[in-house]
Copies of this chain bind each other. A is one copy, B any other.
Amino acid sequence: MEGILATIKDVAKRAGVAISTVSAVLNRSAPVSEDTVARVEAAIREIGFTPHGVAQSLRSGRSRLIGLVVPNIANPHFAAVAREVENVCLSAGYTSVVFSTGQDAERESQVLRMMRAQRVGGLIIIPTRSDAAHGAALINQIHVPTVLLDMYVEGLPFEVIKTDNVAAGYLATDHLIRLGHRRIGIIAGIPGLATSDDRAGGYQRAHEAHGLRAPDGLMLPGMFDQSLAYQAAMDLLARPDRPTAIVTISNMMTMGLLFAIRELGLRVPEELSFVGIDDLEYAPILKPQPTVVVTPILPMARRAIRSLLEQMASGAVPDGRREVYEPHLIVRESSAPPPA
C-alpha cells in the first residue's frame, strides 16, 4: 500500500527505449513504429504504470483538474450539477473538484485561492453575487478559462449559461393570476443577486401584464436559505390579510414554505396556493404535489462543462456569450383558484 509507483523511466528501461519515446507513445505526439508501440505498451501493462498527473501538469502547463464552485453541494440541485460535471469530466479524462461557497463572498474567494494553488485548468462558477464590485474583485482571482453557470456577474467577460429568470418568475406568477389570485406573496432571495432579482422582476412583470399592481409588502427576502424562508413564510402567513398564494424562488425556499404550511396546518390548495421555482426531486411523494417552474439544470450543466473543455482545448478568448435556457411550468396540485 505505501506506494512507490513506477515512473516513465522504469517503463523506458523495461521496453529498452528512451524516455521521450515512451512519452511519445503515451501522448501519440510523435510517430513511433508499430512494434516499438507494442513493446512500450507491454511494459506499461507489466509494471502497472500510471502517468504522474502532477508531473504532467507541471511540465506541460496544462492541468486536468476542473474546478466547480457552487453555493452548496449539499443542496440536491447543485449536487445534480456536480454529478453531471463529474460524468463528463471522467469520460474526457479530467477530474472535477467541487467546492461550496455557502453564498459567502469571502469563502468564495478562499475557495478560488485553493483552486489557484492547485492550478486547476478551468472553472465553472455559480457566483455568490452579480454586482460590478464583485466582478472587479473576481477578475483578479481568476486566471483560467471559466464558464459562469446560472448567473452573470457584471464586468466578467466569461460565457454565461443561464435560464431566463425573468420568465421563470413571470410563469409562476402569471399562472396564479390566471387562476384568480390577486394577493400573491413572494419569498425572494438575496437582493443584488441577479437570479433572485430577475425572478422577482418576473413577478412584477406578470402583474403589469395583467394590468395589476404587485401588492405592497408581500415581497420578503429569504436568502437561499431554508430557515430564513421559513421565517418569511411564517410572517407572511400570520398576517390577517395574508396572501392567497405564494411564489418561492428556489427549492430551499419552497422547503421553508412547506415547513411553515405544515406548522400552521394550512390546507393546500384550498386555503393557500403556491408555485415554486426549481423542482424538488421528491415532488411526486409530496401531498399536495407542488406546482413548479423548472429549469433544465442538467442540460445546462452538461453544456457548461462541454463548453469549458472546448475553450480549454482551443484556447479561445472568452466572448461573454450568454446561452439562455427556457424554464417551463409544471402544474401539479398546489395551485388552484383562491377561496371565495
Contact = CB atoms under 8 A, between A and B. Distances in A.
A258 B119 CA distance: 45
A97 interface: yes
Interface in A118-166: 118-119, 139-140, 142-144, 146, 157
A129 B118 CA distance: 32
B95 A143 contact: no
A193 interface: no
Contacts of A111: 90
Given A119-B53, A143-B1, A73 B86 contact: yes
How many copies, total? Answer: 2
B72 A95 contact: no
A332 interface: no
A64 B116 CA distance: 13
A282 B97 CA distance: 27
Contacts of A280: 282
Given A80-B74, A119-B52, A86 B57 contact: no
B117 A51 contact: yes
Contact of A285 (B72, B96, B99, B286): B286
24 contacts: A1-B142, A1-B144, A3-B143, A53-B117, A53-B118, A54-B119, A65-B97, A72-B83, A73-B82, A73-B83, A74-B79, A75-B79, A86-B98, A86-B100, A90-B99, A90-B110, A90-B114, A95-B117, A95-B118, A258-B285, A262-B285, A280-B282, A286-B286, A287-B287
Given A52-B117, A75-B79, A96-B97, 12 more contacts: A1-B143, A1-B157, A5-B116, A52-B58, A54-B58, A55-B58, A82-B98, A95-B97, A98-B98, A258-B285, A259-B285, A262-B285
Query: Ordered nearest first, which 9 A-B pairs have the shortest CB separation?
Result: A3-B143, A258-B285, A53-B117, A74-B83, A79-B79, A97-B97, A53-B118, A74-B79, A54-B57
Interface of A: 1-3, 5, 48, 50-55, 57-58, 63-65, 72-76, 79-80, 82-83, 86, 90, 95-100, 110-111, 113-114, 116-119, 139-140, 142-144, 146, 157, 255, 258-259, 261-262, 280, 282, 284-287, 318
